[in-house]
């Protein structure tokens, strides 16, 4: 796989999973509304995928050695991976009760991060457990923080 695609895929996967998980956990803890969570997933899938793909595009343009083709490959890979991974979280919300869907989404997201972290660590020749723990810790911090922020927001209304 080309570096430009791998860069976009990795960024889109991580951002799509962590951002969407944080958002759905926060929306659930503040509203307990399935329709709000579904709306949030759809909005973040589109808006954040476009935003992040522009961000990676601009970041790649700062590299003087990056060709126009590689820049656009990273941009497209970021957009489509972010969109795809964010949208996968809609499936459990549509099929299960909201509390069950949130738990399934957390397990799904953390599993994807674990698998991709393992893959990256093997590619880099480092011990996978350290990369996995580091990436999972960041995701868990986001989940816990957004849960408490959602609870706090619920007290404001």
pLDDT at position 94 is 98
Q: What is the pTM of this model?
A: 0.91
The pLDDT-based confidence of 147 (bands split at 50, 70, 90) is very high
The pLDDT-based confidence of 143 (bands split at 50, 70, 90) is very high
- Give the count of alpha carbons within 13 A of 105, CB side only: 35
Residue 117 has pLDDT above 80, yes or no: yes
pLDDT at position 84 is 96
Report the candidate in 67, 31, 28 with the shortest Cα–Cα distance to residue 147.
Answer: 28
Q: For 27-34, what is the mean pLDDT?
A: 98
pLDDT at position 111 is 97
Residue 64 has pLDDT above 80, yes or no: no
Residue 112 has pLDDT above 90, yes or no: yes
85-96 confidence digits (pLDDT tens): 999 999 999 999
pLDDT at position 107 is 98
pLDDT at position 3 is 80
Q: Is 127 left (phi over 0), alpha (psi -120 to 50) or beta?
A: beta
77's tokens: 């890979």
124-138 confidence digits (pLDDT tens): 999 999 999 999 999
Domain coordinates in residue numbering, the chain: 3-156
Rg (CA), the chain: 16
Strand (E) positions, 108-148? Answer: none
**Across all residues in the chain, what is the average pLDDT?**
94
Report the candidate in 79, 78, 92, 76 with the shortest Cα–Cα distance to residue 41.
Answer: 92
């Amino acid at each position: 796989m080309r570096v430009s695609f791998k860069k976009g895929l990795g960024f889109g996967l991580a951002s799509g999973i962590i951002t969407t998980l944080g958002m759905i956990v926060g929306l659930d803890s503040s509203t307990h509304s399935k329709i709000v969570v579904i709306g949030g997933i759809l909005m973040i899938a589109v808006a954040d995928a476009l935003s992040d793909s522009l961000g990676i595009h601009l970041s790649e343009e700062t590299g003087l050695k990056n060709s126009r083709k590689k820049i656009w490959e990273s941009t497209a890979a970021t957009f489509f991976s972010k969109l795809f991974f964010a949208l996968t979280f809609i499936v459990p919300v549509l099929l299960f009760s909201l509390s069950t869907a949130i738990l399934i989404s957390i397990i799904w997201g953390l599993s994807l991060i674990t698998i991709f972290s393992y893959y990256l660590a093997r590619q880099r020749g480092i011990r996978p457990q350290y990369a996995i723990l580091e990436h999972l810790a960041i995701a868990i911090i986001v989940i816990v923080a957004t849960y408490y922020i959602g609870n706090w927001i619920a007290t404001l209304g």
